[in-house]
Each structure stands twice: as structure tokens, then as C-alpha cells.
Structure 1
Amino acid sequence: MYAFQTSRIQTAEPRWQNCKKRAAAQLPAKDARWLLDTGSLTAHLRRVSEGHFHVDVLSQRWQLPRLSERRLLNMGDREWGLVREVLLCCRNEPWVFARSVMPATSLVGRLARLRHLDNRPLGHLLFTDPMMSRDPYEICQLPVADLSLGISPDSEKVLWGRRSRFLLSQHPIMVSEIFLPAFCPW
């Protein structure tokens, strides 16, 4: 099992940058393949972990999303969303911290089911929806200390992350994914 306490994970606001502004050559070769892949991360993680994959839900609650998240989703300043934070675990180790923001206006009709995901991966539902489209990625580098993982705060390790806006029947949902120190699919 992993060493850090899941209830302690708090993320600082990363500095997101359009992936087109950062050349793929500037990314670490071993990470670029995963950061820029447009397929389902959930499906890839299931494959490389040979099925030893599960989702640990850290929190799911209605709240005011961060400013950059509201801007990405074209939300008003006081518009609330359902914010879900999970760990995507492979071989009983957390490989990815994921944060999704679903505006209340997106969780209507057939998408109301997203309010009750429990420990099911959101990625699977997104990539099996025939009405899904995705905007280009934004990427970031985040000091490991900003995640409060229980790793020494003076750690100089930097984590890579990505986020994008999905549209499901024209309703926006944001998903961000931070690749954790245990992430080692190769």
C-alpha cells in the first residue's frame, strides 16, 4: 500500500500552459508519450498494470472551482461545480492524481449519472460516450511538495501534469491529471 495519507492531499494551483506552446522536445522523452497521448489514460493504465487498477476517491463535493478551472469551463464567478479528486492506482500504488470539475449546468439529462460515480473511473465513461470531444491539452510542472503527499517538503522533484476540457453533448467537463512519483509504466 502507499505511504502517504490520502486525506492530506491538497493541490496548489499549477501554472497551466497550452501544450502547443511547449515543444514536445522540451518534455522528458519517457513522459512525453503519456502527457500528449489523446487516448484514454484509464484504458492505458489498466493495460500496463495488467488489470491491477483501481480508483481511490479522495473527495467529491460541490464547491467553487479554482479561477483557472472556471475560465477553462466558461463558468461564472459564483458558479459551483462538482469537484472530484481521485487517485488512479496501479499495482496498489498511486500513479496519477486526478481532479475533475463538472459544472452543475453540465450534470443534467443523461449526464446526471456523473454525480454518482463512486469508485468508477470517469475516463471510462468519457471515452465510451459517442458525443464526446476533447480540447487540446494544457500541461504543467508541479513541485511534489505542492501536492502534500507526505514526501519531504524540501524535495526538488517536479511532477508533470495535463488537463483538458471535454465536451459531452456540448456540456463541458474538465479533467486534470498529475503523474505521481510512483508512475512507472515502462
Structure 2
Amino acid sequence: MSAAWWQWIASRDSLTARLIAAGAPRTFRVRLLDQRTGIPRLDEAQALGLPMHRQAWLREVALCLDEQPWVVARSVAPLDDLRGQRLDQLGEQSLGSWLFRQPDLERGDIEVTTSPAGFHSAQGPWGRRSLFRHGHFRVLVQEWFLERMADDLGLPSR
């Protein structure tokens, strides 16, 4: 992996804030693609320690600059952990903006991938995921960096 990509993949701060800064003066927008309760994929359930077929909150978004998607993200949270979090009302607001305002936020290890599991039409060089904890709340956040972002920032293909 190039040093330029490593700075994006290994960063532990808010991806939303990094995208806004890198894309300036372009307009940042979260495009809500899907939000519902459903059954997580096997790998997601395992990462969260959920029994198979347990319902979870699922959210998929595109993080866009000037309406062009740079990143697609999928978040999965156990329904039992949502107690009062009201994340279903985020709409087209960034989950990251909410997460990084939590004073006791803990981020687990970052797993890197070159396979866009769950993002069937995603074309891009890298993806990552990590588990966030805030009190008893847990959410698995998976992000796939798209070719458009690489092209716009002049990043190498790998």
C-alpha cells in the first residue's frame, strides 16, 4: 500500500472531517442509500459477537463531494445496543459526526481489505472496517474508498 493510501486507511480520526478537508472547496454530502433493520452478513455478525439471524440496524450511505461518491459505508449495530441512541433519525447526517462527539468513544482495530464485501457495485482500491464502542453501544463501521476519490486526489490505484 502506498504511503498516500496508508494515511487514509490507518487514520483513526473522523473520515467525514478528513473528506471535507481534502475535498474543499467542494460541497460534502451524505447520501442515504438504505437504512433498516435486518440480518447482518455472517462476517458482520461475527465481528459484533452476534448470534446468527439476530436483527440489527443496517445503514448504507455514500459520502459525496459535489454529488460524486468518494466513499460508500455500511454500518451495523445490534438492536439491543441502540437504547435511546435515535440513530434512525440521522437521515443524511454523518454517523461519524455523531460518533466522534462522544467523549468515551473507543475504536477497535482497523481491518483492511481489497474486497468490497457487501458493496456489490463498488469499484475502488481499498476498504476498511472497525468496531466503535460508546458505553454499551457498539457499531461496526465499514468504509470502501472509491476510484473517483483516488482519481480526484491523484492517489495511486494501490
**Residue 72 of structure 1: how far off its partner (Å):** 0.7
Q: What 5-or-longer segments of structure 1 have no aligned partner? A: 1-26, 150-156
Q: What 5-or-longer segments of structure 2 have no aligned partner? A: none
- Equivalent positions of 1:105-144 (< 5 A) are 105-109=80-84, 111=85, 113-142=86-115
Do the aligned residues in 1 keep the contact of 2:30 with 2:61 (CA within 8 Å)?
A: yes
**Residue 147 of structure 1: how far off its partner (Å):** 2.8
TM norm structure 2: 0.88
Letter in 2 for 1:59: D
Q: Which residue of 1 aligns with 2:140?
A: 174
**Could you say what the CA RMSD is over the residues aligned between the two structures, in angstroms?**
1.8
Do the aligned residues in 1 keep the contact of 2:16 with 2:96 (CA within 8 Å)?
A: yes
Distance 2:58 2:145 in 1: 19
Letter in 2 for 1:34: W
Aligned residues: 150
Do the aligned residues in 2 keep the contact of 1:60 with 1:82 (CA within 8 Å)?
A: yes
**Residue 185 of structure 1: how far off its partner (Å):** 3.6
Structure number with greater CO (CA < 8 Å, separation at least 6) is: 1
Greater Rg over alpha carbons, structure: 1
Distance 1:158 1:90 in 2: 16
Do the aligned residues in 1 keep the contact of 2:124 with 2:145 (CA within 8 Å)?
A: no
Do the aligned residues in 1 keep the contact of 2:124 with 2:144 (CA within 8 Å)?
A: no
Distance 1:87 1:138 in 2: 20
Letter in 1 for 2:88: R
TM norm structure 1: 0.75
Structure 1's consecutive aligned runs of 4 or more residues displaced over 4 angstroms after TM superposition are none
